[in-house]
Amino acid sequence: MSLVEKFNAAAEKARTFTKRPTDEELLQLYALYKQATVGDNNTPKPGMLDLKAKAKWEFWNKQKGKSQDDARKEYIEFVEKLSASYL
C-alpha cells in the first residue's frame, strides 16, 4: 500500500470516529490534512472576528515548510493514536 493510499485510509478512519476529538486535536488533524493535500498555507489570514477560521489558519500555518509526505506520515500516526480513544 502506497503512502497516499495509507493517508486516504487514515482520512476515512478519522471520519468514522464515534466520539468527537478535542478542538485542539481536530485543529491538528485539519492542519496536517491541509499540509498533506495542499502544501504550505498561502492564503490570507482571516479577520480577528472569525475565530474558527483564524484558529484553522494558524494551525495550518505552523506546518509551513513540512513536506507533503512528512505531513501524510504524521497524519497517519496521529489518526492511529486518536483511534484508540475515539473509535
Domains and CATH numbers, the chain: 3-86 (1.20.80.10)
pLDDT given at position 65: 98
Where is 39: in which H helix or E strand?
none
What's the predicted TM-score (pTM) here?
Answer: 0.95
Q: Are 71 and 32 in contact (CB under 8 A)?
A: yes
Q: What is the pLDDT along the chain (87 residues), one digit of tens a residue?
A: 999 999 999 999 999 999 999 999 999 999 999 999 999 999 999 999 999 999 999 999 999 999 999 999 999 999 999 999 998
Report the C-alpha gap between 65 and 44 in whole angstroms: 17
pLDDT given at position 4: 98
